Amino acid sequence: MQVGHDISLLLVELGAAVFGLAILARLASRLAISAIPLYLIGGLCFGKGGLVPLGFSQGFIHVGGEIGVLLLLFMLGLEYSGQELSRNLRVGVPAATADFLLNFSPGVIAGLLLGWTLLASILLGGVTWISSSGIIAKVLSDLRRMNSPETGTVLSILVLEDLAMAIYLPLLAALLVGGSVTKIAVSVAIALCVVFMVLLAALRFGAVISGWFRHDSDEVVLLTTLGVVLLVAGWAQRAQVSSAVGAFLVGVAFSGPVAEQSHRLMAPLRDLFAATFFLFFGLQIDPRTLPPVLLIAIALGVLTGLTKTLTGSWAAKRAGIDGSLRWRAGLALIPRGEFSIVIAALGGGLQPALEPLSAAYVLFLAIAGPIAARLAK
């Protein structure tokens, strides 16, 4: 009987969460804005320490949220061929370098000014550096800008950032546990090998891979595609490479009719699980920890929002994009999200203030970023 009661409670919680997301989506549609800020605020209100804390089964919502990010990145990858990705990555290296210098430095400097250790300050630099691929992909989809001229520039920066995490995260993990130089080198080498293999498969064998997955049955294509996305993302994560990068490259490898079929079949799943990701993101943040660090987080958010905008605008200008589209590229890069929270969680034991400051910072930019992108004409 206890098992039956647990299942019924899970179903009620899940139904309430999905129905609440539907109400927020309707409200966002009426206001003509992205639903992401409302999902985040909803999670903040109903999570631990919120206005009306609800006992959600967060394990289920967390898994659903992770799947949502993977589907967002997979479907973003479907928009690009291997040749387009290769060209964007080559062109995007200078912009990614400027992105690192302009957005990593403010976090490091802020940490040092707060009296933190150098390693804790480097962690904060990672928090301010990495844009949220999941949030940005959702915003671009909501605003129907997947095929806009500036989106290729945004994509190249996001992909290079995510690939850089393949080095940054293993390096940080080894430093935090006091790993030897050999251990650090091995971790980074494994991550780089995995990235190279997945990139090679996506860029050189995309047409062959697409042929394997073609089928007249929607059911077969849906199950096969979802299984491959989860498998590749899981393998990438176990190799300490971003699972989001793995899912994105699976999308890049798909082309032709199978890409169109996958896009049509996966879109409803993406919307469902992406909404749970943003809800869970808000549920993780305890509002009671935010007031002491809120002013610092907002100041840091405004500064790095400007530096991200400059980064994207300069990158778009180098790519030959004119006018207001340059600023749209910059504003699209403002949100921070999943990677910033992961980095903060790594260093929570090293510097207690890192997690609440990062949570306030991410929440501010995860709300302000989609609004800014929506207002950009």
Residue 34 lies in a domain: no
Alpha carbon 371 to chain centroid, angstroms: 17
33-89 residue pLDDT tens: 778 788 888 888 877 766 666 666 666 667 777 787 788 778 877 876 666 667 766
Distance, in Å, from the CA atom of 25 to the CA atom of 27, rounded to the nearest integer, reads 5
Whole-number mean pLDDT of the chain?
81
Residue 281 lies in a domain: yes
Name the burial class of residue 359, with classes exposed (0-12), middle (13-18) and buried (19+) by CB atoms within 10 angstroms of its CB. Answer: buried
Sequence-ordered list of residues with C-beta below 8 angstroms from that of 208, at least 6 positions apart, any chain:
none
What's the pLDDT at 126? 92
> What range defines the domain where residue 292 resides?
65-375
Phi-psi region of 219 (alpha: psi -120 to 50; beta: other; left: phi over 0): alpha
Cβ neighbours, 10 Å, residue 84:
14
What token pair was written down for 98?
Answer: 């400027």
8-31 residue pLDDT tens: 777 777 788 788 889 988 998 887
Residue 336 lies in a domain: yes
Residue 13 lies in a domain: no
What's the pLDDT at 286? 79
Highest mean pLDDT among 159-163, 175-179, 211-215, 358-362: 358-362
- Tell me what the mean pLDDT of segment 160-181 comes to: 74
Question: Is-contact 256 16, C-beta < 8 A?
Answer: no
Residue 59 lies in a domain: no
Distance, in Å, from the CA atom of 289 to the CA atom of 334, rounded to the nearest integer, reads 23
Classified as helix, coil or strand, 253 is: helix
Q: Which spans in 177-287 are helix H?
A: 181-204, 206-213, 218-238, 243-253, 257-283
Residue 10 lies in a domain: no
What token pair was written down for 122?
Answer: 């480097």
Residue 36 lies in a domain: no
Distance, in Å, from the CA atom of 79 to the CA atom of 248, rounded to the nearest integer, reads 10
Four-point Cα dihedral 98, 104, 106, 110, nearest 10: -170
Question: Is-contact 112 3, C-beta < 8 A?
Answer: no
Distance, in Å, from the CA atom of 164 to the CA atom of 367, rounded to the nearest integer, reads 25
Distance, in Å, from the CA atom of 285 to the CA atom of 243, rounded to the nearest integer, reads 23
Total count of domains within the chain = 1
What's the pLDDT at 242? 66
Judged against a pLDDT cut of 90, whether residue 102 lies above it is answered with yes
How many Cα atoms sit within 13 Å of 135 on the Cβ side?
37
Alpha carbon 78 to chain centroid, angstroms: 17
Q: Quick one: which of 281, 303, 356 has its CA closest to 108?
A: 303
Q: What is the pTM of this model?
A: 0.77
CATH number for the domain spanning 259: value is 1.20.1530.20
What's the pLDDT at 313? 92
Sequence-ordered list of residues with C-beta below 8 angstroms from that of 99, at least 6 positions apart, any chain:
129, 157, 160, 161, 308, 311, 315, 333
Measured in degrees and rounded to the nearest 5, phi and psi for residue 32 equal: 60, 45
Higher per-residue confidence, 171 vs 120: 120
- Tell me what the mean pLDDT of segment 199-228 comes to: 81
Residue 43 lies in a domain: no
40-56 residue pLDDT tens: 888 888 777 666 666 66
**What sign has the CA pseudo-torsion 52, 53, 57, 61?**
positive
330-345 residue pLDDT tens: 999 999 977 787 788 7
Residues in the chain: 377
Distance, in Å, from the CA atom of 354 to the CA atom of 301, rounded to the nearest integer, reads 15
Distance, in Å, from the CA atom of 303 to the CA atom of 267, rounded to the nearest integer, reads 35
